[in-house]
Amino acid sequence: MNPDIRWTNRSPSDICEALVARGFYVWPQTVRRILQEDLDLGLRQACKIETTCHYPDRNAQFEYIAELRERFHDCGRPVLSIDTKKKEKLGDFYRPGAAWTDGFVTAPDHDFPSQATGKLTPYGVYDVGANQGFMLLSTGADTAELACEAVRQWWCRVGQYNYRPRPREILLLCDCGGSNSYRQYLFKQELKHLAMRLKMTIRVAHYPPGCSKYNPIEHRMFCHVSRSLRGVILDRLETAAHYIGQTRTLTGLKVLAEKARQIYVKAQKATTEFLERMPIFFDKNRPELNYWATPCEY
């Protein structure tokens, strides 16, 4: 708390009661006017702007990402923002939000995880240039294999029809944690396999640690998907796919949702052959955050 800031979380009515106890009789409206006009106070919430993860080249990485985005856009190549959305329990669980209805929508009075029929792991792919989204819905774990499969499914379902002639390179923007962590060799191995399957170079640029909220998918797609799911009881995976697929905005955003064909599990590791050969090319600038995989065999 900043000691130079004057503040109180007591309401004008509470302040009036305290003043009356000391012999001062005043109306709450008067207290409110004194707070606003005489003391220049206003109702404000705490702003979450203080950085907790201090990455030395934070600003330089943002500038480099902006340069990459501009370069790819000018060449007509895809710029994809990827990340995992918040996991959800499947079952008759209460969800916040209201919907127009002619009757009561009921849900259990307690949400016990043991009563869930499964869990929903939605992995999102957002095409920054086309303003279109894709989500691969899985009931398994959040893994590097799921992340790369989501990108592959995006290309098969959407990308190959939007980008003609076929681009030689794709740019992936992602944060530093989760299944697409910059520390995971498994993610790099799956990227190599993805590049070989798509026969394209896959370039990756991570946002600095603690900067995941600046990833475009967070504020340009996930917020609208959450709006589409408000008040919806996610009893089945098909229900989630249906309502996520209804996501639309006035600026043209459309989201396609698909169910994953397999259940992904954790405890997977990169192979010894991959670690020994390391067929990943690292950038000279902040190589831990910037690298690419080519479609060449290794």
What phi and psi, each to the nearest 5 degrees, are found at residue 13?
-65, -40
From residue 269, how far is each of 95, 122, 144, 184, 278 by CA, in Å? Answer: 36, 22, 10, 9, 14
Dihedral (Cα; 152, 157, 159, 165), 10-degree rounding? 110
Kindly report, residue by residue over 21-33, the tens digit of the pLDDT. 999 989 999 999 9
Q: What is the pLDDT of residue 247?
A: 97
Q: Nearest CA to 135 among 33, 241, 29, 1?
A: 241
From residue 165, how far is each of 76, 98, 126, 158, 162 by CA, in Å? Answer: 9, 45, 20, 14, 9
Residue 127 has pLDDT above 90, yes or no: yes
The residue-averaged pLDDT of 281-289 equals 95
The residue-averaged pLDDT of 45-71 equals 88
For tokens 């869930």, the residue is: 116
Residue range(s) in the chain whose domain bears CATH number 3.30.420.10: 58-99+111-293
CA distance 134 to 265: 22
Percent of the chain whose pLDDT exceeds 90: 77
Q: What is the pLDDT of residue 104?
A: 82
Kindly report, residue by residue over 210-235, the tens digit of the pLDDT. 899 999 999 999 999 999 999 999 99
Three-class DSSP category at 298: coil
Residues 6+ apart with CB under 8 A from 107: 92, 93, 94, 95, 233
The model's pTM? 0.86
What phi and psi, each to the nearest 5 degrees, are found at residue 297?
-70, 155
CATH number of 58-99+111-293: 3.30.420.10
Question: How far is C-alpha 43 from the chain's CA centre?
Answer: 30
